[in-house]
Amino acid sequence: MTGKRPQTLLDARYSDETATATPWPEAEALLEAAELFWISTVRPDGRPHVTPLPAVWSAGALHFCTGPQERKARNLAGNAHVVLTTGTNTWDKGYDLVVEGEAARVTDDGRLRELAAAWEAKYGEFWRFAVRDGCFHHGPGHAYVFSVAPRTVFGFGKGEPFSQTRWRFDLEEH
């Protein structure tokens, strides 16, 4: 990510009159704390693929891992556009986040060691990864690690007041 603060906008069409835009640091804290995300990728024939996975927020991006032969890794080889969603499974309370961006493979072993430590700190010992050859290793298999720097994030406040906030990161200077 560029390190720039995103443009923040409350969408009044989908927000109560008393709602205000959620500050980016609050959304970022929710991304950091979330345990489960749903990733949406696109199959080679254009059909969507959605699956749950754990992810780690680090250095302004979400990070996830997947085996090289898994459907999401194969989809990303042809189309790096992804959406990651997280939140609560209720209608009238909680906050949902939708992160849109492009997945980029992380292969630097030093950075992967930092991310492996973050996974274990967040999810516990089961998620302890060894790092070598640009991959996470766990048991007999290995996994690719991807980073998704947000381009656009949508936040949905549920309950009183309902709200929709949009954060844009990809604005060009004109």
Query: ∠ CA(29), CA(35), CA(37), 5° rounding?
Result: 95
**Would 173 be classed as within a structural domain?**
no
Provide the whole-model pTM.
0.93
DSSP state, residue 45: T
Whether 1 has a pLDDT exceeding 60, the answer reads no
Q: Which domain holds residue 148?
A: 7-168
pLDDT digits (tens, 9 = 90+) for 34-59: 999 999 999 999 999 999 999 999 99
**Would 174 be classed as within a structural domain?**
no
Whether 100 has a pLDDT exceeding 50, the answer reads yes
Whether 3 has a pLDDT exceeding 60, the answer reads no
pLDDT category, 164, cuts 50, 70, 90? very high
The number of folded domains in the chain is 1
Read off the CATH number of the domain in which 79 is found.
Answer: 2.30.110.10
Closest CA to 44 of 75, 71, 15: 75
**Would 1 be classed as within a structural domain?**
no
